[in-house]
Chains A and B, each alone.
Chain A
């Protein structure tokens, strides 16, 4: 037998790495719970009860219904349903069949939360596409809003036990927050359109003008843009704390926890930056295209606001460079809000409906489910100057 007592002695320091008592107990408790949830069976029992797989499916009517439907109507229909929008014949298949089936493959809480957020994003995308076509009725918006609320609430519940400093939690929380932000923007856009319709009486034209802002030519609609940038960022912005290996004193450990929060803020700010950069381009194109139909003063005002957007972008980038993520986030958010005002200037006149709102920054968190009163489900009437569309 090889003798390596000397080397064993050299490496004995490694044995200091061990689980703390709390950690060991915590993992043991989780495993015990897991065992009770998923009991062991002997090989014979396992083989003999494979038919129970089918019984399990029989207990879930939706997937069975889905399977039967796929069999009856063919996979092509199901695939075609993926592009369906509310009001289309295939839309119920998309939501109640395709998505339900995909949902059954999400096993862990995080995967389920992820899938719920994705479903919320899909509803947002549908809302923005309908908005772009001027076909987002109040009824449809409310229905989509209700679904989004349901998905985001479920995602919140599912991530309650995830460690708050975990990078997966930060990404999910950021996605959740952006999805909610996009939902609010759509609500506001519809609200503005409704208010304008009430003021001018040129419903269809105005509605299309509102949507034109987001759907101008081949520009991505607002929320789709958000979602796209969000997806782009979600992989690259994961706080890379796996390289965090510095020895920590107690105070340094606290600082490290702060770093985790900063990483969340950083992810948020960078996501907003990408969204803003895209928004600047689309806003610029929007102003140029609208130039022939607006007054010179409206055009100048819109250009002025666009410059303010660019200034906010620059100051946000500066703040980002100095690692002042919350400050950067406020700048980016204000600039994004300005783009809505530019839209108002072009479509309504020189006086924006509302002044630029100073946004209060808050770190992405998943709090207990808010009561419905906290969520802007209803359209708030907005006072608009009664001006004819130019």
Chain B
């Protein structure tokens, strides 16, 4: 009897880990531009995890990995706006539930609860996460000096695209 319990437990432990999906190559885009200035950046080195058993989903990105078209803009982004030295990462930790994700989004050291629409489709044994949403920069205490206030959008649109692979493979 005990052997059966043990075997079942061992089996369930492998079963649990088999339901974890992960990528280190999530693509994130963001756009905080205005008619006066294009402010766009992307990264292809975000991390994303998903646990199919619990529905828990997480995305994390290094702020310095965002690539801008202009070197100076990238420097200002890190140096003056998101303060990457103090707050090197942005992350989302929450749960996926039928077409939306809900959880805490942390940017610039500030965590806000958000619920945004998201798609999480199973494709060839992988999970493909696609979501797009807007955030208000002031919510995360990203300060915009008045001199450039009309060049930078008050909101930033963020897109996430990730193909999460089973961790046991």
Whether chains A and B associate is no
